[in-house]
Every structure is written in C-alpha cells, then in structure tokens.
Structure 1
Amino acid sequence: MKNQSSATAVPAIAVTARHPAGSGTVLAVLGVVAFSLTFPATAWGLEGFGPWSLVAVRSVLAALLAGGALLALRVAPPARRHWAGLAVVAAGVVVGFPLLTTLALQTSTTSHAAVVVGLLPLTTALLSAPRTGIRPSRTFWAAALAGAGAVVTFTVLQSGGALTTADLYLFGALLVCAAGYTEGGRLARVMPGWQVIGWALVLCLPLTVPAAAVALAHEPVTLTAHGVAGLLWVAAGSQFLGLVVWYRGMAAIGIPRASQLQLAQPLLTLVWSVLLLGEHLTPAAPLTAAAVLVCIAVTQRARG
C-alpha cells in the first residue's frame, strides 16, 4: 500500500525545491516587486477604511482566494507536524506585519516605514541561520550588513532623521515578519509555496472574520477609488499572490539569498510613493540604489 502522504500530495504544482535557481530568483524578484507596492497601497486603503478594518478585510479576502484555490485543486490538509510552522507564518505575515505596519502608516510616511523593509533581509537571514542550519559566508554577511546599512541610512535621512511612536510598530513588524518568512521558506521546501500562505490564511479565518465584522461596525468606511484599489492590492497582490511567488523563490534559492533581494524593496517603494502618492525623493536615491545593487550582486554570488 502506498504512503498516504505521497498519494495526497498536490497533483498540479510541484514542490518548490525542485525549481532551478534561475527561476527561483525570478520568482523571488516578482515577490519583491509585489511587496514594494504594499505601503503605498496601504496608504491608499487608509483613505477609505480604518486601520483595523483594512487589516481584517484584506486577510479575509486573501483567505477566500486561497481557500478557493485549495478547494478547486482538492488539496489535502498539511500533515500535523506542519501546523505549528503554519501558525508562525500566520502570526507573522498574515496578522502581525500587516497590522503593525498599517497602524504605523497612520502617522508615518511610506519612506520612513521603508526602514522596516531595509532591515528585514538581515533580520530574516539572522533568524533563518539557526532554524535551517544554513551558515552563510563572511562575505555574505559583510555585504548584507553593508546593504542594510545603506538602506537604513537612506530611509532615515528621507524621513528627516526623526523617530516617532510609529517606530515601535515598525520594529515589531520587522521581527514578526522575519519569523514568518523564515518558517514559510522552510515549509516551502516540503510543500508548494502557495499552499504555505494559503493554509496560513485559512488558519486565520476564525480570527479575521469576526475581527472584520467588529471593525467595520465601529470604523467609518468611505468607498473611494483609492481606498478600494488599495484594499484589493494588499489582499490579492501583497497578502496572497506576492507571498506565493516569494515562498517558491525562497525554496529554490535559499532563505538568506532570497532575503537579500529585498534590499531593493525600499527603493522600489520610494519610486511607487513618488508615482502614486506624490512624495519627493532626494538626490541620494540613485547613489543608494547603486550601492544596494552592488550588495545584492555580492550576496547572490557568495557561497555558504
């Protein structure tokens, strides 16, 4: 008799670890592009929804997309040993990061919030090393620290160098998201990446559905074009599709290398902030971009 877990494995999508490194890098880059739009889209969403409503409704909508895909493909539930990891993913990237960054963006600009993304690659690499047993080289760490330093310096200068109460939310978001990325990347080696975020979203439904109902009843809602567009993007693009390709990419090229691609995310976010929100950049932007690209090139070549 065949092993039941292998018989019920997903028939339509192969395990992400089998993807070559080249396609894994492309997938990770697509995830970074999707994530770079999160803060501007959240700012748009806050024009029409309260912070708690925006976070809860985005999670519910993303869970409906994920649950529909899981049902359509008749995906069997994960093995019991994977549910603890999925709970970490859910706490980090489904609830924690969206909630904390949305609360921060009520009083912080998107450029200031980009500090979180600038530190996220390094934090993810730090958390993933003991969890996965991967030991990146000294060259890797030197380039990662240099890139993170360049991004943090740039984003702090962009915000005038002033720390706000929103920083507590941002640094909390940094830690929970790094934990979610680390656990999600590990799980994506044994199941398709879209299932990792899909089951994490579904796992949160008993919390997010009543939270959405309560929040919508107590927070005013104004259905503007920006508000609806922002909500739809953070739900479908950031919360589901972006994480699908991101976890697949991490499984193919490894968590440390994939996390360093996110060094470009704050700069992309600033570009979207100019185009979508009308914010202004300083002349330091191209210099920082060049420095970050060099660091990314070094980390992608460095061997563990």
Structure 2
Amino acid sequence: MKRTSNQNPAIEKPASGVINGLIGVVIFSGSLPATRIAVLEFDPVFLTVARAAIAGVFALCLLLLFKQRRPARRQIPSLIIVAMGVVIGFPLLTALALQYVTSAHSIVFVGLLPLATAAFGVLRGGERPRPAFWFFSVLGSLLVVGFAVSQGLTASPTGDILMLLAILACGLGYAEGAKISKALGGWQVICWALVLSLPIVMPLTAWLAPVSFSRISTPAWLSLAYVSLFSMLIGFVFWYRGLVQGGIAAVGQLQLLQPFFGLALAAALLHEQVSLGMFGVTVAVILCVAGARRYGRINPLPSR
C-alpha cells in the first residue's frame, strides 16, 4: 500500500505564510530603534530618501543579477502604488510626524496598520474575511491603542494627521504589493517598486545630503544601513511572500505584534524601560492574531 504524507498542503501554505510574515514583522520592528539612533545625526527627510536610494540600488543589482523579466505595462500602475505607499509615503510621512509627536505616540497608529491592510485587501485584493475576523482585528487594534494611551501620550493634530496618512499609505502599499506578488513574485515587487522610485529619491538624496559626513558616528551609519537594507528591502521580501501564502487579511494581523517587538528591541538596544503591562497586553494581542488568522479566509484551500 502506498504511504501518503501526513502533511496537508492546505495547512502548509498558510503556515509558511505566517512564518514568512513573522520574520518580516521582526525585521520591521527593528526600524524604530534604528531610526531613533539615525535621526540624532541625520535629517529625517534625508534619511527617508537616502534609505530608499540605497535600497533601490541594491534592488536593481538583484534584478540584473538574477535576470528578472521586466514587469508588464499593466503592472506598472500597481508598482507605482507600492512605491508611493511603502517606499516614499510611509517613511516620509512618519519622519515628518515624529517632528510633532513622540515615538510612543506613533505606536497608536502602528496598531491600526493591520486594519488598514485588511481593508485595502478587501478593496484591492478581493478578499472577504468573515465577520469574526473583523471582531478579532478590531479588538487587537484597540488593545494596542489602549496600551499606548495608558503610557501617557501627548497629542498634536498635525502629527496625528500625518501618522494617519502614513498608515493609510502603508496599508495600501502592503495590500497592492501582495496582490501583484501573485503574478510577479514577492521580492520582485519590492525591487521593482524601489527601482521605479530611484529617479525621485536619488536627486533628493544628493540635494539634501549634509555638507560634511565627518561628524556622523558609526552607530548612525549602521542604523542607516539597517533601515535601508533590512527595513526597506529584505523585510519586504519575507512580508510579501507571507501575505501571498497566508492571505492579506490573516497574515496582516501579525502587524499587531510589531509595536511590542519594537519596544522590546528599544529596551535591549536603547535601555528603555519596559513594563510588565506590555507583556500582558502582548499575550492578549497574540490571541487576537490567532483568532484573526482562523477567520481570515472564507474559502480555505481544499484538502488533498
């Protein structure tokens, strides 16, 4: 009798999506501590365009090295949306917002990112999560918002508006990138989006560059390298692959963990205090992520 595998392809693919998505979230979580270090010595706007320019050059090299085909003409509009959302929009808007609000305040809006991604996944990706999915995603977002508010935050209308626009831009970029990744490939999408942004970010990088780099410290350079290569390129390779494998709505809820990973890294790298309340809320958020994953798809892949 022929032995059959105990592994279910219907389960393997979403599981791989969660793993890849989680790796992407962990990488993105390092952006906040790295940015905190970098903006002490780099102008925030220069940091935004410089990271995109550096990542764009590496992305172009990867595309040429692996001889990737050019995207079809019909795919260019989607790539432009990705570039405007996650390459330029989110980094620029958050850099501007952080001039008005604290980093802790921005956690409120990062906690809303899964909802934005799921909403654009419905609008742009054709996904239709069950009502229970929205319950868990809203609950998880409220937990993140409540935790941030409990820390004692200062408000700025200008900063809040900029952060809200940043979250909308990022959610759209995530959903659009996942949609086109099904045809173009995950890492190819972010690479082409970065390449398309080069004509804009390269001149801006040269124009906004400091007169002298002699006073820039090693930690600042390492932070710029991290946000350029990991936050802007490598993280998206895993993230878009996860969204395609596990679904935009379901895997997108892993973003709920990003603020807590970021705080943990900030505590380890910047020696910031982390309260016990953070860990309690993190456990509750993980349960919400599990619930959202369960109801993230209406029609699961059939068993074989």
Using the size of structure 2 for normalisation, the TM-score is 0.90
- Coordinate RMSD, CA, aligned: 1.6
Tell me which moved more, 197-206 or 105-114.
105-114
Q: Which amino acid aligns with 1:202?
A: V
Q: Which amino acid aligns with 1:76?
A: R
- 1:208 matched residue in structure 2: 201
- 1:263 matched residue in structure 2: 256
- 2:78 matched residue in structure 1: 85
Are 2:154 and 1:162 aligned?
A: yes
Q: Whole-Å Cα distance in 1 between the matches of residues 222 and 98 of structure 2?
A: 17
Give every structure 1 segment of 4 or more consecutive aligned residues whose post-TM-superposition deviation is greater than 6 Å. 218-221
Q: Which amino acid aligns with 1:175?
A: L
Q: Whole-Å Cα distance in 2 between the matches of residues 226 and 47 of structure 1?
A: 10
Q: Deviations over 1:140-197 (max 9, x none)?
A: 1100000000001111222x13212422221111011011011001011111111100
Using the TM superposition, give the Cα deviation of residue 105 of structure 1 relative to its aligned residue in structure 2, in angstroms.
Answer: 2.7
Contact 1:156/1:162 (8 A) holds in 2: no
- 1:134 matched residue in structure 2: 127
Count of paired positions: 285
- 2:37 matched residue in structure 1: 44
Q: Whole-Å Cα distance in 2 between the matches of residues 90 and 264 of structure 1?
A: 24
Identify if the C-alpha distance between structure 1 residues 225 and 265 changes in structure 2 by more than 3 Å, giving closer, same or farther: same
Q: Whole-Å Cα distance in 1 between the matches of residues 14 and 163 of structure 2?
A: 32
Contact 2:55/2:232 (8 A) holds in 1: yes
Are 2:280 and 1:287 aligned?
A: yes
Q: Deviations over 1:109-146 (max 9, x none)?
A: 33222222200001111121122221101111100000
Which runs of 5 or more residues in structure 2 are unaligned? 1-11, 299-304
Identify if the C-alpha distance between structure 1 residues 225 and 106 changes in structure 2 by more than 3 Å, giving closer, same or farther: farther
Contact 1:49/1:221 (8 A) holds in 2: no
Are 2:232 and 1:239 aligned?
A: yes
- 2:18 matched residue in structure 1: 25
Using the TM superposition, give the Cα deviation of residue 239 of structure 1 relative to its aligned residue in structure 2, in angstroms.
Answer: 0.1
Q: Whole-Å Cα distance in 2 between the matches of residues 210 and 218 of structure 1?
A: 15
Q: Which amino acid aligns with 1:278?
A: H
Are 2:236 and 1:248 aligned?
A: no
Q: Deviations over 1:190-215 (max 9, x none)?
A: 11111100000000111001000111
Using the TM superposition, give the Cα deviation of residue 253 of structure 1 relative to its aligned residue in structure 2, in angstroms.
Answer: 0.6
Which runs of 5 or more residues in structure 1 are unaligned? 1-18
Identify if the C-alpha distance between structure 1 residues 221 and 168 changes in structure 2 by more than 3 Å, giving closer, same or farther: farther
Q: Deviations over 1:278-298 (max 9, x none)?
A: 322333212211110110111
